[in-house]
Structure 1
Amino acid sequence: MVSFKARLRLAGVCAAASAIAIAAPAQAQAEAAQAAQAAQAAQAAQAAQAGDAGDPRAESRADVLGGDIVVTARKREESSQSVPLAISAFSGKSIEARGIQKIDGIASFTPNMTFQNNPSFGGAGSSAAIYIRGIGQKEFLPTTEPGVGVYVDGVYVARSVGALLDLVDVERVEVLRGPQGTLFGRNTIGGAISVTTRKPTDTLSGNLQATTGRYSRMDAKAVINVPLSDRLFSKLSVATFNRDGYVRHLSDGRDLGDVGTLTGRLDLRWVATDNVEMSLAVEGTRDRTNGPAFVLAKVNYGSRIFNPQNRPMLPPGSPATPGAYVLNPPFDAPTDNFTLLHNYFAALLGGQPCLGFSPYKPQGSGAACFSDRFLVGADADAGTGLQYSRNDLWGAQMGIDWTLGSIQLKSITAYRKVDGDYARDGDHSPFTILHLADILKQTQFSQELQLLGTTANDRLKYVLGLYYFKETGNNINTLDFTPVTFRSGGRFNTESYAAFGQATWSATDAIDLTVGLRYTDDRKSFLPDQEILVDKTGGALIAASPNTPKTRILPFQRVHLNEDAVTPAATLSWKPTRGLMAYATYSKGFKSGGFVQRVFPAQASVPTFNSEKAEAFELGFKSKLLDDRLTLNAAAFLTKYDDLQVQVFTGIAPVTKNAASAEIRGVEVETRLAAGDGWFLEGSMGYLDPKFTTVDPAATEITLNSQFERVSKWTVSAAISKSVELANGSELTVRGDWSYRSGAFMDALNSPELFQPGYSLFNANLTYDLPGKTISVFGTITNLTNKRYLQTGVYGSSFGLYEHLYARPREWSVGIKWSF
């Protein structure tokens, strides 16, 4: 039997041969058509992204005056308004105008999108939890895949750790909403975020920027573009971001939630011939912080085992008494609540007054008792355990672009590496109830080949491609709890193969039909390396397992999971008049399954979960009105979402399981208006109505009435800016941004303590361009009303601890930028 790899290679050869055969008869006229098309694309790109070689403010002119942004959502350069997909596109200048430093900031202006820094249990300071149209994933473990794909210059970023990208020298960011299972097929069931960096040009240019502000903020960025010859160009960008935290770690005076980042990137671009272009990029990022700004918000002292009705207690051996609870150690040890178990041990083994008898009070005044005295507010932490987050990320990629008449062959080869080390005190006290440490080492390699072409008098445009992805790594979790200390995690390996194709047929000048198909084969393995290091109970109190030290929690045996999927897409678009396009789209998405690596007590085999799938139907339109000064786009969609991977608690650990199916309905509207005389307005609105349609009976944590976690029903934004040209040739620009997000739960359990009510945010920005517009002075205020809102929240029922992580409070900053 022919192997899959051999079939994949054969398919690629056949695809290339077929494309060349189709294109050859029309080669001459296609070359002429391609030249015209290339000229048009160059003009569009120049209009939308100008400023590399001339006026450094020219790019903002295209964005502010309503010029379309050139996007590559379909692997070729097109105007964002001509693509029949729901896309939010932001130029680098518009991102800068909003004062956005990290990529998560775009969520405030993108309908139906959630993008949070979610350290969760691991404590990684840069971990992305991204949801688009209700589909996403908050888990950072490498045995679980993200639900929204993040791509940098076409390269898939596999891990959510490190996906919270710094935006240093970005050309544009595209947010593609809905399943992108054909062209962006690697785990893009909810959508894709595509970041495109600026490429080196043939002009000596650059900029320097310095920013200071509240919380001892000191940021600096430098970009320089240097042509090395007539055909070889280089660009170097470096940046450092530094800011104090906003939650005081009381035991040592450090601030949690601080920023300490150093990042850099070197780009080389070689135009070898008129038909061949090669690019090479090497980048690295170093993060060193004191850990995420979690605070203790509430403690649940309840137990289903020990005194579940909170009755007055009687000493062991007392006769059964109505209305009272008779202590029965060690058989009533509250192993379902480690905080209460700590007090149980302190009271019965240490003689501490941690369990009041009458009335019953599961917290006491003794020094060894856990009590509400550790609830020290929203800006302080009373923990004494280790707290830190350290990330080292680097990558390299090479691109080759070879034009053969009407055919374009592209190759993208990339390597990325993550080296992370994290620790967190999850009980926020001097005791050891919930201490966590993680070491994550991951490497990934990917190779993508694309064949793009046009034929049939430019009426048929096609993309054919092959994709290979390999990921290896090791994740070591050390967990120190009240009754036990153990090691979790293990070694993981993923290989993914795919072949894809998409074609657009222009039946008439007004009607286009696009069809696409992708075949994906994912092969995964996991070698759990998990054992109990210290059993503090001697094996007597751990539910369902008389464990002894060094006992394996899972067998030290490699397990495998192989899955494949076919994900089609089809779009019909209609352009009845200039400036108006209506479209209908059908698409499917696939996100592969994985392994449950957090397991306790011991099990005989590794729990796994399967892939989840989404099938989406969408109707939309895009329009340009009022002499192209007004852009109005809208979409309505229905997504059928099956085999949801939901994170719930089973035992003491959060685990992922295929728990339900759902339907998601929604609407999105985006608009921009260049009103004239320097005025520019923009806004967006998103509405989501996700509902579970079936729930696995074994998933007792959720019901048909449960709400999706981290998903708001309403997301609304608006912005207004005014630019004034002054008599001396300088320019003053004032901008205000508002965004609103309705309430959402931070966990699948819909814990009321982790519900964030709806809230509004206001930001303001003032920029003064000196005459000549090479020097700019700017000031920004974020979170103008000092709104306190949850960025994320964590609750583990086995610990009884509710943790909140609030977003940064109001901050001001001022800076200066010199461009040349």
Structure 2
Amino acid sequence: MRAIKFHPLAAGVMLACGATFSYAQQPALEEVTVTAQKREQSLQEVPVAVTAISEDALMQSGVSDLTDVQKLSPNTTLQASRGTNSTLTAFIRGIGQQDPLWGFEPGVGIYVDDVYLARPQGAVLDILDVQRVEVLRGPQGTLYGKNTIGGAVKYVTKKMTGDPNLRVSGALGSYSQNDLKVAGSTAIADGVYLGGAIASFQRDGYGENVRTGEEQYNKDVVSARVALEFNPSDELWVRVAADQTTDKSAPKHGHRFDPGLGGEPVLDSVYDTQSNMLYDNLVETSGMSVTAEWDVSPSITLKSTTAYRQGETETAIDFDSVNRPDFDVPAYYEDDQTTQEFQLNWTGTNADLVTGLYYYSGTAAGAFDAVLGYLTNVIGVPLTQNVAGSVDTDSLSAYAHYNWSFAPDWNLSLGGRYTRDEKAADVFKANYIGLYSPTFQDKYYPEGSESMLAAVLTDYSNSDSWGQFTPHVGLDYQVNDDVMVYAGYSAGFKSGGFDMRGDASALPSTVDGYDPEVVDTYEFGVKSDLFNNRLRLNAAAFRADYQDMQVSVQQLVESGGFASAILNAGESRIQGVELEATLAVTDNLMANLALGYADTEFLEFITGGVDVSDERDLQNTPDTTAMFQLNYSLPFQSGAELVINPTISYRADTQIFETPSRLDQEAYTLVDMTATYYSPDSSWQLGLVGKNLADEEYRIAGYAFGGPFDTGFYGAPRTIALTGSYNF
């Protein structure tokens, strides 16, 4: 019955409130299978903190893209970055990446079928032909190709079975939402399957440019995937896949907190703008991969994943959000990556091993102008700062993860990873007198006077390399058939790099780059199925000692332009608890609860030779996240079923950057509800999805350059959509 299909979010609330149970009905939760440890296991056997959300749970929770997943996973932030629809800001347990500029590495790894996405552009993945989403919290290095210091989000698509199928689905909703998805697969020969999916996601803007009527916060995305799977023999499986996503949504400009320099008033709607930057915004990402699995013997499997990805972005950011180039930033990014992973899985009588080699080679490049027209009133002329550069990265690593059942009910896990990263950077920064540099003038200011080079601030090439061993050790004990407890230690590592915005004239040390950061994480947890499988209660307590954290700092300076630095800030400590539970109250009612608490503190934050740790806190990490959800199924005699799913999610006060600012968001609560009707033969579904039903106004990102250049970006207002699908 769909109402009691499990997704691992939790509800021990009924138990905590003293609920009593009658075992006459004997409802029970179903087992959840995950691949968090690179092999199929029951979620309850995996001694790590992981949230797994099935296809049914994604639909019944109204999840449309990865940003909705943050509601369902404790201590997790997954949001669209400032000024964009499709660039992802991801934090898990206080560790992530705020700055989407090229050259920086994300602290949270995004994987699509074991292929690592190195750049946040295009990483706000829409839900398309997905089997489940897994969120792994804590460092991931001894089991995963690319080392990620904060955690990983796995997007797992469906394997083909050979049975011909075609599914058409769509949505019509608020702000002229008009989505259409088509997915299907079929056998084209004995053991050879062809499948694919294509989707269009369209929506008018939540706001507009009040000068022109152009849209703000709209959506215009087309995405497609195709795959060929075949089994040359019973022991060998191969998948060849390709995908492409194009996002043509309009540029997204922030909401000013203060009047503009020309006295422009603060607009009533936080989604509106008065921007002069009416230019095309384009994000294109594509890739292809070849995955092969060979069962060498009943106990040994070899796996190879080869992938290539590329992306291009053109964007326009208006920091002043008025009809003048007071502070305008046109930009473009481009990147490509090639990855190769070889993996060996061995399973013995009382032990198993995952080991592999991983190679990553990629280039990230880009350029932007900081068009500072407001300086005409300060220094007498407009000034433009142009920044351009590229970073080539080569990473080679070896990892192993060994599990040994050394005694009945006891299991020891030992892991290790050695990573060697090499980076070569070219960085250029210059001041131009005038509006726009030669890089962008033809497109953005074709009829203006040519700008004149005033000073080259940065122009260097440099390279560096870093190596690090990161271990893992864990112990788990099966107390009985229903309860497992575990403890573990894992280290994480993120290599250093070079600041693409660095000003060598003001900070000569920028040419030397910045250092790696490391984290030591300790975790204690319990996985339990109680009351005859009616209550699934999983909990974890953790502590992370975070050293040399890489912090990006930019600010305007009175003499003109802006200053930038990447600081290895010092030390911080993150500790907290997480609870996920699911309770089958009856055969038809299930309750879910997810709670996260994170106590974050900078122990040392050195800037300008001064420790300002008592004035800083970790960004994008509210101390409390919570979600409570009911899932009620109403069956009909015809065999049809109606599933009603109300959800309340809460996020405590959130600091957008390490330094407190007016951008910081106070605590807020979102109320969502879905109702899904399944036909008697399950061939079609019809749903009603309501999000942010209380129409809460909440800020998710922003820029803090002071006064009229303080701008915020906001989450979606109340939306309602009618969804449907038909299986042919």
TM > 0.5: yes
The corresponding residue for 2:546 is 641
State the match for 1:806 in structure 2.
714
d(CA) in 1 for partners of 2:698, 2:454: 43
Q: Contact (CA 8 Å) 2:264, 2:322: kept in 1 or not?
A: no
Match of 2:245 among 279, 285, 288: 285
1:376–1:382 contact (8 Å) kept in structure 2: no
Measured after TM superposition, the shift of residue 124 of structure 1 is: 4.0
| Alignment-derived partner of residue 502 in structure 1 | 401
1:560 aligns with 2:463: yes
Q: Which residue of 1 aligns with 2:589?
A: 679
CA–CA distance in structure 1, aligned partners of residues 652 and 517 of structure 2: 27
- Mapped pair 1:762 → 2:671: yes
Structure 2 partner of 1:401: 293
- 1:568 deviates by 0.4
Secondary structure of the 2:175 match is: coil
Return the offset for 1:293: 4.7
Aligned to 2:81: 118
The answer to whether residue 214 in structure 2 is matched with residue 254 in structure 1 is yes
1:806–1:447 Cα change, 3 Å: same
Paired residue type of 1:473: A
Can you list the C-alpha shifts for 1:8-45, whole angstroms capped at 9, x where unaligned? xxxxxxxxxxxxxxxxxxxxxxxxxxxxxxxxxxxxxx
Correspondence for 2:705: 796
The offset of 1:60, in angstroms, is 7.7
**Is 2:499 the counterpart of 1:589?**
no
**CA–CA distance in 2 between the matches of 1:488 and 1:808?**
32
| Residue 530 (structure 1) aligned with residue 429 (structure 2) | yes
Amino acid at match of 1:427: D
Residue 355 of structure 2 is matched in structure 1 by 464
Aligned length: 679
Residue 519 of structure 2 contacts residue 547 of structure 2 at CA under 8 Å; is this kept in 1? yes
* Counterpart code for 1:571: G
- Shift in Å at residue 529 of structure 1? 3.3
**Whole-angstrom CA distance in 2 between matches of 1:553 and 1:432:** 22
In structure 2, C-alpha distance between the alignment counterparts of 1:639 and 1:529, rounded to whole Å? 36
Alpha carbons 1:125, 1:389 under 8 Å: kept: no
1:428 matches 2:321:
yes
What is the CA distance between 1:800 and its match in structure 2?
A: 5.1
User: Which residue among 54, 62, 72 is the counterpart of 1:109?
Assistant: 72
Equivalent position SS for 2:479: strand
The CA distance in 1 between the partners of 2:566 and 2:611, in whole Å, is 12
* Per-residue deviation, 1:62: 5.4
Matched, 1:744 2:654: yes
**Based on CA coordinates, which of the two structures has the bigger radius of gyration?**
1
Do 1:199 and 1:235's aligned partners in 2 also have CA atoms closer than 8 Å? no
Q: Give the C-alpha shift of residue 697 in structure 1.
A: 4.3
Shift of residue 672, structure 1, vs aligned partner: 0.5
Q: 2-side partners of 1:185 and 1:617: how far apart?
A: 22
User: 3-state SS of the aligned residue for 1:522?
Assistant: strand
Report whether the alignment pairs 1:817 with 2:725.
Answer: yes
Q: Is the 8 A contact 1:466 1:498 kept in 2?
A: yes
Q: Partner amino acid for 1:386?
A: L
Return closer, same or farther for 1:62/1:626 CA change in 2, 3 Å cut-off.
Answer: same
DSSP-derived class of the 2:549 partner = strand
Q: For residues 468-521 of structure 1, what are the alpha-carbon distances to aligned partners after superposition, in whole Å with 9 as ceiling and x for unaligned?
A: 000013211122113411320212210000011111000123000000000000
AA at the equivalent of 1:452: N
Given that 2:4 and 2:587 are in contact with CA atoms closer than 8 Å, whether structure 1 keeps it comes out as no
SS state at 1:81 partner: helix
TM-score (norm 2): 0.90
1:211 is the counterpart of 2:171: yes
Correspondence 1:444 to 2:337: yes
Amino acid at match of 1:615: D
Identity %: 30
Contact 1:387 1:424 in 2 (8 A): no
Higher relative contact order (CA 8 A, sep 6+): 2
2:523 equivalent to 1:618: yes
Q: Deviations over 1:764-817 (max 9, x none)?
A: 0011122212111111110010000012121124x7521011111000000221
Equivalent pair of 1:298/1:375 in contact (CA under 8 Å): no
Residues 209 and 221 of structure 1 are in contact (CA less than 8 Å); yes or no, is this contact kept in structure 2?
yes
What's the TM-score, normalizing by structure 1? 0.80
SS in 2 for 1:106: helix
Deviation at 1:676?
Answer: 2.2
- For the residue of structure 1 that corresponds to 2:281, the secondary structure is strand
Shift of residue 635 of structure 1? 0.6
- Tell me the amino acid that sits aligned with residue 338 of structure 2: F
Verify the 8 A CA contact 2:7 2:54 in the aligned structure 1: yes
What secondary structure, in the 3-state scheme, does the structure 2 residue paired with 1:94 have? Answer: helix
Letter of the 1:645 partner, please give it: Q
- State the match for 2:11 in structure 1: none
Aligned Cα root-mean-square deviation (Å): 2.1
Match of 1:133 among 85, 93, 98: 93
Equivalent residue, structure 2, for 1:521: 420
Distance 1:383 1:595, change over 3 A: same
Pick closer, same or farther for the CA change 1:89–1:536 going to 2, 3 Å.
closer
Give the match for residue 105 of structure 2: 145
* Conservation of the 8 A alpha-carbon contact between 1:185 and 1:518: no
**Partner letter of residue 147 of structure 1?**
G
Q: Partner amino acid for 2:208? A: R
Q: 1:371 to 1:654 in 2, by over 3 A?
A: farther
The equivalent residue for 1:389 is 281
Residue 606 of structure 1: SS of its match in structure 2? helix
**Unaligned 5+ residue runs, structure 1?**
1-56, 300-338, 340-368, 538-546
Corresponding residue for residue 479 of structure 2: 576
- Where structure 2 has 5 or more consecutive residues not aligned to the other structure, the ranges are 9-27, 376-382, 437-450
Does structure 2 retain, via aligned residues, the 8 Å contact 1:186–1:591? no
| CA–CA distance in structure 1, aligned partners of residues 708 and 74 of structure 2 | 35
Q: Which amino acid aligns with 2:353?
A: Y
Q: Cα gap change, 1:712/1:649 in structure 2, threshold over 3 Å: closer, same or farther?
A: same
User: CA offset at residue 185 of structure 1?
Assistant: 5.8
Closer/same/farther in 2, CA of residues 516 and 384 from structure 1, 3 Å limit: same
Q: CA deviation at 1:657?
A: 1.3
Letter in 2 for 1:467: Y
The alpha carbon displacement at 1:373 in A equals 2.2
CA 1:702–1:131 in structure 2 vs 1: closer, same or farther (change >3 Å)? farther
**Closer/same/farther in 2, CA of residues 509 and 292 from structure 1, 3 Å limit:** farther
Please, which of 141, 158, 178 is the counterpart of residue 118 of structure 2? 158
Change (3 A) 1:699 1:792: farther
Q: Is the Cα–Cα contact under 8 Å of residues 69 and 90 in structure 1 kept in the other structure? A: no
Distance 1:428 1:147 in 2: 30
**C-alpha contact (below 8 Å) 1:201/1:234 kept by paired residues:** no
CA 1:190–1:63 in 2, change beyond 3 Å: closer, same or farther?
Answer: closer
Give the equivalent residue in structure 2 for 1:692.
Answer: 602
1:624 Cα deviation from its structure 2 partner? 0.4
Equivalent position amino acid for 1:677 in 2: D
Alignment of 1:236-251 (within 5 A): 236-251=196-211
